[in-house]
Amino acid sequence: MDILLIGSGGREHALAWGLAASPLCETLHCAPGNPGTGSVGRNVDLDISDHAAVRAFCKEKNIGLVVVGPEAPLVAGLVDDLRAGGFACFGPTKRAARLEGSKGFTKDICARYGIPTAAYAVFKTVEPALAYVREKGAPIVIKADGLAAGKGVIVAMTMKEAEDAVAFMFEGGLGPAGSQVVIEEFLDGEEASFFAICDGENALPLASAQDHKRAFDGDTGPNTGGMGAYSPAPVMTPAIEARVMREIIEPTMRAMREAGAPYTGVLYAGLMITAQGPKLIEYNARFGDPEAQVLVPRLKSDLAKLLLAAARRQLAGATVEWRAETALTIVMAARGYPGQFAKGEEIGGVDEAGAREDVFVFHAGTKRLGRRLLSNGGRVLAVTALGRDIAQAQSRAYEAILAIDWPGGFCRSDIGWRALERNDG
Ligand code: AMP
Ligand code: GLY
């Protein structure tokens, strides 16, 4: 069968690599793809916001499975339009993707179904917001309700910071995203992500991971899309995973069915593991980037078979097998990211790095010009290594990075520090 993968990031290269390896997959098409996806499948120049064009392509190629990587096409209803055309699609409908797109929708579900999450209140004006902050005390979390490109969350450790954050948002510091402000209880603990594959009815637990959101070492600097990750996350013991499934994922599946928007696709739970147990920070309706770059290389089971079973609502009884190794990925970004950065710089040594044992170099923002490989985005490469433990995975990934010749790039030098500290302690 032919498969169509939508997207063009590092996550999509990892998914493409996994899908293309499946015996079920004849030709993998990637729209629009990147040089990495083009090395394992065929990139197609399709405008993915033109749903009729995507549908026509699926018909022409007799596509047996569509896998949607990023959030934007989900929110735009690509899955709805392809399913209406009779195509098997892995990903949530527009209504189900509200779990990622709308904080209010998710918080309502948590309240109604008893899902553990931070207590919160929503404000449209400054005075009641300040009164609430003063009543609750610091630390406290101030969030812009709209999308604010990762800058919409301020974790205020003191009352002064909290008051300043509220004032900043209502003064329009984040533009219209800050016109409605969510004030949330501070959750104290260790952060982790958990992924489950869902077919509307059933949720199959996949695996855990930990991301590194800040740009620089020691978790300092601005927030980014993610500078590195590892899987599994040691904080996620089997007992905690079982609680996450029972207390968070399964009630969410029930809520979505009862809301008439059954959830199909990958459910990515951002969690805080607190002294009282796991609590939900937020949901995403897709695989993480760079978390997919550590999940897919660890997967022993057939990725295409799993995603197809979810798309066809046939996950009941499915199981998933993992390699015993730990995976760690390091993102190489263009100097200046997440702010201003240059594009079009030549990168060497990618094939040498990727030829090393148990190392995978996933492309994100790259492009080919003849035989040359050029940078073409903020996050440019993700270098993943497998190892018997986190220390070996980390040293293999950093050794592989030494082979990459790109003076204009940078990466954090401490990816995995939290897991290593835990092992040392
Ligand atoms: P978000 O954009 O909602 O993913 O939040 C960004 C980051 O802010 C999260 O990854 C957490 O590190 C932190 N955060 C968000 N909500 C809370 C909370 N209620 N308590 C503590 N930290 C939080
Ligand atoms: N790495 C965080 C995300 O994909 O949202």
Same domain, 303 and 196: yes
| 222 C-alpha to ligand 1 centroid (Å) | 14
Q: Model confidence over 270-286: pLDDT tens digits? A: 999 999 999 999 999 99
Q: Answer whether 225 contacts ligand 2 (Cβ < 6 A).
A: yes
Whether 331 and 415 share a structural domain:
yes
| Percent residues over pLDDT 70 in the chain | 97
Query: Which residue type does 349 have?
Result: G
Same domain, 199 and 296: yes
Q: How many domains does the chain have?
A: 4
Is pLDDT of 174 > 80?
A: no
Task: Evaluate if residue 145 carries a pLDDT over 90.
Answer: no
Pocket test for ligand 1, best of 153, 186, 227, 272 (most atoms within 8 A of CB): 153
* Distance, CA of 406 to CA of 375 (rounded, Å): 9
Looking at residue 152, its pLDDT comes to: 77
Q: Whose CA is closest to atom 16 on ligand 1?
A: 281
Note down the domain range covering 42: 2-91
Q: Are residues 299 and 331 in the same domain?
A: no
**Ligand 2 mean position, distance from CA 20 (Å):** 23
CATH of the domain at 229: 3.30.470.20
**Which of 76, 91, 106 delimits the end of a domain?**
91
Strand ranges across the sheet with 140-144 = 120-123, 181-185, 140-144, 153-156
pLDDT band at 397 (very low <50, low <70, confident <90, very high): very high
> Whose alpha carbon is nearest atom 3 of ligand 2?
288
291 CB near ligand 2 (under 6 Å): yes
Structural tokens at position 80: 């709805």
273 lines ligand 1 (CB under 6 A): no
Residue-level pLDDT at 304: 98
- Domain match, 214 and 304 both: yes
| Band of residue 103 on the pLDDT scale cut at 50, 70, 90 | confident
Per-residue pLDDT, 423: 72
Residue at which a domain ends, from 282, 311, 340 = 311
Phi, psi torsion values for 174, nearest 5 degrees: -110, 15
- With bands split at pLDDT 50, 70 and 90, how would you rate the model's confidence at 102? confident
- Do residues 85 and 7 both lie within one domain? yes
Q: For residue 179, what pLDDT band results from cuts at 50, 70 and 90?
A: confident
User: Residue 139 belongs to a domain with what CATH number?
Assistant: 3.30.1490.20
Choice from 74, 194, 211, 379 to test ligand 2 binding pocket (greatest atom count within 8 A of CB)? 211
Using the atom order of ligand 2, give the atom closest to the CA of residue 291.
1
CB of 148 shorter than 6 A to ligand 1: no
DSSP 8-state symbol, 370: T
**Whole-number mean pLDDT of the chain?**
95
CATH number at residue 364: 3.90.600.10
For 348, phi then psi, to 5°, come to: -115, 165
Q: Indicate whether 37 belongs to any domain.
A: yes
Inter-residue contact 236 to 192 (CB < 8 Å): yes
Give domain status of residue 291, yes or no: yes
Q: Which ligand is nearest to the CA of 292?
A: 2
Task: Evaluate: CB of 236 within 6 angstroms of ligand 1.
Answer: no
What pLDDT score does 188 carry? 95
pLDDT score of 148: 56
The closest of 269, 265, 248 to 308, measured between CA atoms, is: 265
Cα distance from N-terminal residue to C-terminal residue, the chain: 49
Q: CA-to-CA distance for 267 and 275, rounded, in angstroms?
A: 24
Give a yes or no: residue 112 inside a domain. Answer: no
pLDDT digit string, tens, across residues 308-361 = 999 999 999 999 999 999 999 999 999 999 999 999 999 999 999 999 999 999
Query: Mean pLDDT across the stretch 39-48?
Result: 97
pLDDT bucket at 424, cuts 50 / 70 / 90 = low
Q: Do 154 and 174 have their domain in common?
A: yes
Residue 407 pLDDT exceeds 70: yes
Across the range 231-253, mean pLDDT stands at 97
How far does the centroid of ligand 1 lie from the alpha carbon of residue 187, in Å? Answer: 8
Residue 288 lies in a domain: yes
- Are residue 14 and residue 65 in the same domain, yes or no? yes
Residue 272 lies in a domain: yes
- pLDDT for res 192: 97
| pLDDT for position 317 | 93
Q: Is the pLDDT of residue 425 over 60?
A: no
CA within 13 Å, CB half, 229: 30
With respect to residue 103, please indicate whether it lies within any of the assigned structural domains. no
Say if ligand 1 is within 6 A of residue 307 CB: no
Q: What's the CATH code of the domain at 16? A: 3.40.50.20
pLDDT of 178 strictly over 70: no
C-alpha distance from residue 262 to each of 57, 89, 144 (Å): 27, 14, 28
38, 70, 91: which is the final residue of a domain? 91
- Mean pLDDT confidence for 294-321: 97
Residue 108 falls inside a structural domain: no
Same domain for 284 and 247:
yes
Distance 229 CA to ligand 2 centre (A): 10
Kindly state whether residue 97 falls inside one of the protein's structural domains.
Answer: no
Closest C-alpha to ligand 1, atom 7: 153
Q: Rounded to the nearest 10 degrees, how much is the dihedral formed by the CA atoms of 244, 245, 251, 254? A: 150
Whether residue 345 sits in one domain with residue 273: no
Token reading at 183: 């004030």
* 227 shares its domain with 301: yes
Please list, residue by residue across 39-74, b when 16 or more beta carbons sit within 10 angstroms of its beta carbon and e when fewer do. bbbebbebebeebeebbebbeeeebbbbbbbbbebb
Does ligand 2 have an atom closer than 6 angstroms to the CB of 9? no
Is there a single domain that holds both residue 224 and residue 293?
yes
